[in-house]
Amino acid sequence: MNFDYLFGLLASAAAVIIGIVVHESAHALAAYLLGDRTARSRGRISLNPLRHIDPFGTILLPLIMILAGGPVFAFAKPVPIYLGNLKHPKRDEVIVSLAGPLSNIALAVLGALLLRGLANDPALFAGGLAQYGLAAQVAPHLVRFSLTLMSVNLSLAFFNLIPLPPLDGSSLLVLFLKGRALQTYYEVQRYSMPILIVVLYVLPSLLHIDLIGLYFSITVDPLYLNLVGFALGL
């Protein structure tokens, strides 16, 4: 198997696992700081992936999607939150919901800072490599991982803001709906997974309509390019 392909696969897997673990821990930590100890009592404020992995959503579903050759997404076990324990339930639910995506954006910024640190030492990549030894060999792979960490976590952040359960955006949208609009939304929620499958696979393959690609083109892509520009001093 080609080493570059294998490294890319492992880098993507590592970035996804890191992103999901930090994302779920951020939800749990935000809830705890705002008065709800439920998630903390169940060990969800943890960087141990086993605390967060859902056998279907984190492992089986992504494998099926990889084999199907389409877009890949994953989800972890839901973080248990009891709104009645929050100090200001409506406001705090928004904060808890946003904590996950914001943690992924923070990881993307961390990737940009790592890339910036590498870019500020050009001797690692051109000339003077002998004095760096192993570091010079590792540096290009760190650059690739930094870029992967940025793109994967930005994708996780904005994908999770889509207003369909089990994604975080569903909790945010509910707060702005009332009356018949809210009732209609609750009815649509029952079909959230089929809707995601249609948007991710059916529309792009049959009608060549890529709604996720369009959404990412105005959210993920500009932010990714800005972070890369910052990292490279452009």
According to DSSP, residue 45 is labeled S
How far from each other are the two terminal CA atoms of the chain, in whole angstroms? 36
Handedness of CA 16, 10, 57, 78 (dihedral sign): negative
pLDDT at 130: 46
Average pLDDT, consecutive stretches of 10 residues, N- to C-terminus, the chain (234 residues): 77 88 96 95 92 82 65 78 88 92 97 89 54 60 91 92 85 82 81 80 81 92 96 87
Q: Is 24 a catalytic residue?
A: yes
pLDDT at 187: 82
pLDDT at 57: 77
pLDDT at 182: 80
pLDDT at 65: 65
Which of the residues 11, 24, 31, 155 is marked catalytic?
A: 24
Residue ranges per structural domain of the chain: 3-161+223-232
Instruction: Collapse the DSSP code of 177 into the 3-class scheme (helix H, G, I; strand E, B; otherwise coil) and give the result.
Output: coil
